[in-house]
Structure 1
């Protein structure tokens, strides 16, 4: 047990006395600081099978053939090599993301990362864990990149190498919320690139690209494109909440947090 862990456990009772543990979604009293109440846990929607072989989008039907692809992947084969989502985006997931990102509840990072890690495919060989980047002005305003916090926790859970500076956002873009997929892609054109100092390390690498929310996929597509142009052989996208646009749970019509 590390000194940090020992110190954290020793002061936990004092923290709980001053700040009684509350569910970050509904405010109900809970046993520990990092967790949810039973009701909010049950409201989270965990992706399951059957699912698209390419992007792991859950199928509504109970019976599909092995290797079946969803309609979006049939229409436009993805650049990535799979998506691992901890949850599907619904009201409870939205409140968690808002508390984490805009409410500055950064202590939620380990819990959110564990939900993501539970959905990861087998990670054989060496992997790099790279967060989706924020523009420096957005980083200065917010004070942290939520994707970096998640990536750091996932790297620790998987014993993979963390690369926080592999990607950079060179162009400040407006909030993407409310824009369609094509408009998002136009907005992101030329905005994300690989740091030239990391090109050699990325050549031939397997990369786990981490973000908090996957909405239209435009941001992740820009990141995946940049990573593969740099020579990455495989890029899997990992997120806490995935927005689906099929009218089911996690539908894009809900008010999702902005990524910029």
Structure 2
């Protein structure tokens, strides 16, 4: 439930500035935090020091990851495919493309992720997604913003992958919107949190083969009518939590391009390596 705070509306911890208009949820997202009980939080931090997001080890400073969990994360560093962002075994140059990007070019321009999908990143994603741990959002968004710094700086508008309204009702918030809002806040960018809509409910993608994933989300997304003017001619940064086969972000990209977006880049927290056997 949004919380009124003067002229500002708060929804799921995201500050929305109504002066920019409500078309498609277009807002200047200035920060991601909980607006109330800040003095109480300081007292709680003194009584109960912050702990590691994953293993609950007490930390001396701000909440985050302990050294052990940090070291276990598989951060994606260069060299990687200039188009898909997949790690490469050797450096192909600044514009080097993977075999997959050459054989099956995606509709988006570039994709980047902060880390590979492994035990630690999966715990973070599930904590945000299924256990309502909204405090993970700003940290995850910070790592994403560093991994996709060029994409963020060049974007005109940040848009999250949407949930169907039935799933949004049951989950109460969209984890991709939390990440998109936090990235926009860090970069002082506009975010259109409701520009994309999921126009039909689809079975969960978990466990589906690549071809089945593509069929599952084909035609499932559209740009909201009132948001089309905000999308047209603009460079869009599409945000999600995990890149698996790319079926979802490709379907979203096609919907944005149909609405005449100038270009679409993709930024996720984690991406699945082709050899990964971990469940999503």
TM-score by length of 1: 0.89
Deviation track 1:62-92 (CA, whole Å, cap 9, x = no partner) reads x424422112111101111111211111110
Q: Where does 1:1-260 land on structure 2 (aligned, <5 Å)? A: 10-17=39-46, 19-32=48-61, 34-61=63-90, 63-122=91-150, 123=152, 127-245=156-274, 247=275, 251=276, 253-256=277-280
Question: In the alignment, is the contact (CA less than 8 A) between 2:158 and 2:238 conserved in 1?
Answer: yes
* Aligned CA-pair RMSD: 2.1
Shift of 1:22: 2.2
Pair 1:192–1:112, CA change in 2 (3 A): same
Stretches of 4+ aligned residues off by more than 6 angstroms: 4-8
**1:198 Cα shift?**
1.0
Q: Is the 8 A contact 1:34 1:108 kept in 2?
A: no
Q: Once the 2 structures are TM-superposed, how far is the Cα of residue 210 of structure 1 from its aligned partner?
A: 0.6
Gaps of 5+ in 2: 1-30
Question: What CA distance in whole angstroms lies between the structure 2 residues aligned with 1:202 and 1:215?
Answer: 25
Q: Rate the CA distance shift 1:173–1:7 in 2: closer, same or farther, 3 A.
A: closer
Per-residue Cα deviation, 1:10-35 (whole angstroms, up to 9, x for no partner) = 33332225644222211211235631
Residue pair 1:25, 1:96 contacting (<8 A) in 2 also: yes
Aligned residues: 248
Give the deviation of 1:6 after TM superposition: 9.9
Q: Note closer, same or farther for the CA distance 1:109–1:43 as it changes in structure 2 (3 Å cut).
A: same
Structure 1 residues 237, 125: closer, same or farther in 2, change over 3 A? Answer: closer
Compared CA separation, residues 60 and 237, structure 1 to 2 (3 A)? same
Task: Tell me the SS of whatever aligns to 1:162.
Answer: strand
